[in-house]
Amino acid sequence: MNQQQRSALLHSSSLFPPPPGVKLSYGTAGFRADASLLESTVFRVGILAALRSIQTGSVIGLMITASHNQVSDNGVKIADPSGGMLTQLWEPFADAIANAPDPNSLLQLLDDFVKKENITLEGGPAARVLLGRDTRPSGASLVEAAKQGITCITGGTAIDVGVLTTPQLHWMVRAKNKGVEASEHHYYDQIVTSFSYLMDNIPRENSSKDVNDKLIVDGADGVGGEKLEKLKSSLKYLSIDVRNYGDGVLNEGVGADYVQKEKVVPRGFGPSDAGIRCASLDGDADRLVYFSVLSNSNKIDLVDGDKILSLFALFLKEQLRILDDKANTSSYKASLGVVQTAYANGASTEYLKQLGLEVVLTPTGVKYLHEKAAEYDIGIYFEANGHGTILFSETFLSWLENINNELSSTSKGSDQHKAASNLLAVSKLINQAVGDALSGLLLVEAILQHMGWSIQKWNELYQDLPSRQLKVKVVDRTAVITGNAETVVVSPVGIQEAIDAEIAKYTKGRCFVRPSGTEDVVRVYAEASTQEAADSLAHSVMVIVHQFLWF
């Protein structure tokens, strides 16, 4: 790092002093806090994004959002060249620079890191960073802080792409680095075209009057609602009533997180919506859940991420079966895998296994799910909270393109040709960079039409086991060490045996504990055959955790 670069960094960072007494940590969600505390952090993440771009020689994304958090919060996270999350290897560096107490400390950290990672700041590729933000009022000033961070690295270019959903920014980064047109317009064009293709391919025998073309969507008063309100006129076969798309307070009594946790109707919904298919996005539109309003009640029948995953798996498995039925495609056996965390309802895992699918568990966090799903030709992952997507391997897509071209010339319109075309359309409709509520919603709608299913029929795939989640305040959450995808406690010694003894008392009992990633609590998740039993099991295990860890 030459003297000119060092001087520029020292000067710029002096303009963004860190708030005293605040320590932030980078996780799956990036940095999040009250927006008033974030200017320094966002500036420094701008520097990080520029360095990551130079190191990889690729476009990097920087998104300013706090997703489902309250409107006074904000956050910042990085999209890597693949469009996915920032590599875990850089997370400790992100923590270190965010918490550096002064410009000189920051400069020393940057100097050491640049040397360690062999990042060339002179004569190498220039940094290119796409900057996006959601609709939060604090977003505009934080974008300016990010720009300052990016451009204080010599040659760094900040490309402000405006107000976007988080998945749109991730999609653009992935597309840019694949050499594909990557504007918001191209995003819409790709998902609308793919959706229309799938809808045109619906088997006549599966057309059903049970599948109403009307869908009501809760936009969480966030960016996703705004985007969908503009997009809906482009969609054939689907009538969308978007509510909560900017006329209320972001995430207040609305949104996927609220609906999934509280299991009640969001603001703006009521008894008159009973029986109609409804969906809810979260604040930055990377989560999606469905629900139906119960008659004369503010309660709902929730269709969460587990059931979205099951619907996708069922459809994709059927398309692969149709291809496998034909001798001339037997040379390639595509691997289809499903990835969940321990928080997935046990009934969903059992259902997927009964379908003959390979189901694997990972630790909680999208970065773990995404990495595991990428090991399959088709890897599907979803969390119950509605965040997830489908990944297709390049090898499989290349094979599929060849098969589709061959069938287009020899047996166009055959079941096999339609199956190959459907799989290709799904790969283009779904956002392979990250969970995307808009593209996921369109895929759900297309598959329900293919199946001829109402939301009630979909919800009957399996019956969720009653569950309960609790958290226990502890002195030191790091005292809990888990293994086997967080399903067992390795340390303290003896706690897992005590938990197992409690689980054995309940029919269909299942329980695990894991330390929070952000606060000094241990989270408890329990399932059993009845709600009363699940509540009792969770409470008993909470007592065990307290006994072992309150010291």
Strand pairing category for 358-361 and 481-483: unpaired
**Ramachandran sector of residue 256 (left: φ over 0; alpha: ψ -120 to 50; beta: rest):** alpha
Q: Which of 218, 243, 7 is nearest to 104 (CA)?
A: 7
What would the DSSP string read from start to end of 341-359? -TTS-HHHHHHHHHTT-EE
The backbone torsions φ and ψ at residue 241, rounded to the nearest 5 degrees and listed phi first, read -105, 105
Residues labelled as active-site residues: 67
Task: State the average pLDDT for the chain.
Answer: 94
pLDDT band at 328 (very low <50, low <70, confident <90, very high): low
Maximum alpha-carbon separation in the chain:
73
Cα three-residue angle 291-192-289, rounded to 5 degrees: 15
The Cβ of residue 128 has, within 10 Å, a number of other Cβ atoms equal to 20
Task: Identify residue 437 by its one-letter amino acid code.
Answer: A
**How many other CB atoms sit within 10 Å of the CB of residue 163?**
17
Measured from the Cβ of residue 199, the count of other Cβ atoms closer than 10 Å reads 18
- Looking at CATH, the fold of the domain delimited by 198-305 is given as Alpha-D-Glucose-1,6-Bisphosphate; Chain A, domain 3 (3.40.120)
Cα(444)–Cα(437) distance, integer angstroms: 10
Q: How many CB atoms lie within 10 A of CB 293?
A: 22
Give strand pairing partners of 467: 527
Cβ-contact 127, 46 below 8 angstroms? no
- Report pTM: 0.95
Where is the binding site for substrate, in residues? 383-385, 514-518, 523
CATH superfamily of 3-163: Alpha-D-Glucose-1,6-Bisphosphate, subunit A, domain 3 (3.40.120.10)
* Tokens describing residue 404: 């589709």
Burial 348-381 (b: 16+ CB within 10 A, else e): bbebbeeeebebbbbbbbbbbbbbbbbebbbbbb
Q: Which CATH number fits domain 308-436: 3.30.1490, 3.40.50, 3.40.120, 1.10.10?
A: 3.40.120
pLDDT in tens, 456-489: 999 999 999 999 999 999 888 889 999 999 999 9
Give the pLDDT mean for 218-231.
97
Q: How many CA atoms lie within 13 A of 500 on its CB side?
A: 9
Give the pLDDT of residue 327: 45
* Rounded Cα–Cα distance for residues 347 and 345 (Å): 5
* DSSP reduced 3-state for 526: strand
Q: Which residues contribute to the annotated binding site?
A: 67, 282, 284, 286, 383-385, 514-518, 523
Q: How far, in Å, are 43, 78, 155, 185 from residue 438 at the CA level? A: 30, 21, 35, 14
Instruction: State the Cα–Cα distance between residues 466 and 468, nearest whole angstrom.
Output: 7
Fold of 467-549: TATA-Binding Protein (3.30.310)
> How much is the pLDDT for 144?
98
- Residue 32's H or E segment, with its range, is strand 31-34
Q: Which residues are annotated as a binding site for Mg(2+)?
A: 67, 282, 284, 286
Q: Where are the domains of the chain?
A: 3-163, 198-305, 308-436, 467-549
Same fold, 308-436 and 467-549: no
Asked if residue 492 has a cis previous peptide bond (ω within 30° of 0), the answer is yes
Residue with tokens 């939301």: 455
C-alpha–C-alpha distance, residues 12 and 210, integer Å? 61
Tell me: the pLDDT tens digits for 255-278? 999 999 999 999 999 999 999 999
For residue 80, pLDDT over 90 is answered with yes
pLDDT tens digits along 397-442: 999 999 999 999 998 989 999 999 999 999 999 999 999 999 999 9
Q: What is the β-pairing status of strands 521-527 and 157-163?
A: unpaired
Judge whether residue 143 has pLDDT over 60. yes
**Quick one: CA dihedral 447, 453, 456, 457, positive or negative?**
negative
Rounded to an integer, the average pLDDT of 376-398 is: 97
Rg (CA), the chain: 24
What is the C-alpha separation between 381 and 384, in angstroms, rounded?
A: 10
Average pLDDT in the 436-453 region?
A: 97
Distance of CA 137 to the CA centre of its chain: 23
- Could you tell me if 330 and 461 are in contact, meaning their C-beta atoms sit under 8 angstroms apart? no
> For 2-45, how does the pLDDT look when each residue is reduced to its tens digit (9 = 90+)?
888 899 999 999 999 999 999 999 977 899 999 999 999 999 99
- Whole-angstrom CA distances from 63 to 7, 45, 235, 273, 351 are 27, 10, 27, 35, 36
